[in-house]
Amino acid sequence: MSTIDTYIIERAKKWLEGNYDRETKEKVKALIDSQSTELVDSFYRDLEFGTGGLRGIMGVGTNRMNKYTVGMATQGLANYMKKMFPDKDQISMAIAFDSRNNNTFFAGITADVMSANGIKVYVFEDLRPTPELSFAIRHLGCQAGVVITASHNPPEYNGYKAYWEDGGQLISPHDKNVIDEVNKITSIDHVKFDRNESLVETIGEAIDKVYLDNIRSLSLSPDVIARQSEFKIVYTPIHGTGVELVPKGLKAFGFKNIYSVPEQDVIDGNFPTVKSPNPEEPAALNMAIEKAKAVGANLVMATDPDADRVGIAVLDDKGDFVLLNGNQTATLLLYYLLKEWKDSGKLTGREYIVKTIVTSEILKDIAIKNGVESLDVLTGFKYIAEQLRLREGKKTFIGGGEESYGYLVGDFVRDKDAVISCCMIAETAAWAADQDKTLYELLPEIYVEFGFYKETLKSVVRKGKAGAEEIQQMMDDYRTAPPVYINSSKLITVKDYQLQIEKDIVNGTEKHIDLPKSNVLQFFLEDGSKISVRPSGTEPKIKFYFSVKAVLENVANFKEVNSFLDSRIKGIIEDLKL
């Protein structure tokens, strides 16, 4: 038995000796007896806060989502809250949960531990979108919040997103400090599990109303929607939390013809109608597209289980539905927002947008042309929320987003918000329809003006401990020996966000990157291509983002240039042997 195996066995045995329930001990003993990779993956490490908080497969073990790992995380968060707000008479937090299996169980454990520590807890009565939790924290004046969700991960996963008093997810130093507090808890006996009922309050419809009222106030073209009120929309929550609030939001905007997919309105953490409840996956929209064909709809929208991401499908020039990727949707949305702000005379020179470093550069081009500041941040919407906090009361946030189908308009929510996004995307589509255009037709017109940007994402999955080590080795190899040419184009610039260095390969100069350290590499090629590489913070995969660009002289050349850009991306992928 190797040293690491001994270490893992000892970690597992502590669960046989500690104050764990009998069912848990029986499952741990079975794992020890099996000597399987499942034992290793369950105990080789502790679950950590990544870009999305605490997330993992449900089951027994230190590397799994269960009563004890959630309890320890919550105790650590409670200790940190009390340390950070020592003079506050009543510290409070909000808790929400999505449609995942064990959703109310984990939400209940969180409420138990927080209230047992003397912290006032507001718990939503039923499942709610993650962005509404962000809104509730600020609306109720809470010091923190937690939502039980694993976003679009497979059914065996659950998670725990932690938020701070600004409504944004935990960022440095809070994320690291919470982990430090959790690490100080060496036994589950240190966790207070006995709920104080007097400190637990149920919330629901009253918050919904204020949240929806705020969303309704974002509409820029109510007159357009009035003219296009018959515009047909198919929406699916994919068995998740958008089921009530997205249709209500669309109706509040003035849309009358909203069609559901009844089979996918069913709340079910097993997500029975899809292979993956991820709106980035084409198959997740299949049922909604079939419904759209049947009813003659103009737009299809689908949100993930916790309703912070949205995928869309639009009619092409042949009358067929095609899916747009996250960059394309962000382009349409930001183009509409900035054009309407400018045309209505609302721009004062103090406005800004925010995007992540792996999101299309066309958003920056659109902003600059409209006299609006564009900010780049690391991957993760928490960094966009940070910029909102830093500029609050000084500048005006119009909107922003990331290529992974997450967008935000307005600043009363501090996370990506698919309820807001669905409403504003629908308004963008209605605005285009008012000019006898579809979103499919509008996109090439934007490319003619700003350049034809095309992006795609390829993920390489490597599960478990061995997979994590392989992913890290891939990053080490790219960092120490970057390719000289990719797809016959010379590498001219490397950005290493871990070392915070931007290196000009041509002249050998270096300059500092003024962003937090992050395990991300970007390669910029002579032909204008950009390749970004980063391990996922929430899933066992390494992600490759490809961005290419060409001039589009007129709309008639769209398909030809599109094919050219496809071939360039294909060449890059083949050259990297992915």
- What residues are annotated to the active site? 151
DSSP classification of residue 170:
P
DSSP classification of residue 122:
E
- Residue 243, φ and ψ in degrees, nearest 5: -55, -35
User: Which neighbouring-strand residues pair with 512?
Assistant: 501
CA distance 413 to 420: 9
446-461 burial code (b ≥16 CB/10 A, e <16): bbeebebbbbbbeebe
CA distance 212 to 412: 11
Residue 107 host element (H or E):
helix 103-116
What amino acid occupies position 503?
K
Provide the CA 387 distance to its chain's centre, in angstroms. Answer: 16
**End-to-end Cα, the chain, rounded Å:** 35
The region, left, alpha or beta by phi > 0 then psi within -120 to 50, assigned to residue 392 is beta
Please provide the size of the chain in residues: 578
Structure tokens at 48: 């950590």
Q: How far is CA 182 from CA 73, 91, 110, 266, in A?
A: 6, 19, 14, 36
CA distance 459 to 468: 14
**DSSP per-residue letters across 277-344:** --TTSGGGGHHHHHHHHHHT-SEEEEE-TTSS-EEEEEE-TTS-EEEE-HHHHHHHHHHHHHHHHHHT
CA distance 149 to 316: 34
Angle 179-184-185 from CA coordinates, rounded to 5°: 100
Cis before 444 (ω within 30) = no
The region, left, alpha or beta by phi > 0 then psi within -120 to 50, assigned to residue 385 is alpha
β-pairing, 120-124 vs 92-97, is parallel
CA distance 528 to 568: 11
**DSSP per-residue letters across 378-402:** -SSHHHHHHHHHHHTTTSEEEEEEE
Do 427 and 220 contact (CB within 8 A), yes or no? Answer: yes
Q: Which residue has the tokens 């009035």?
A: 226
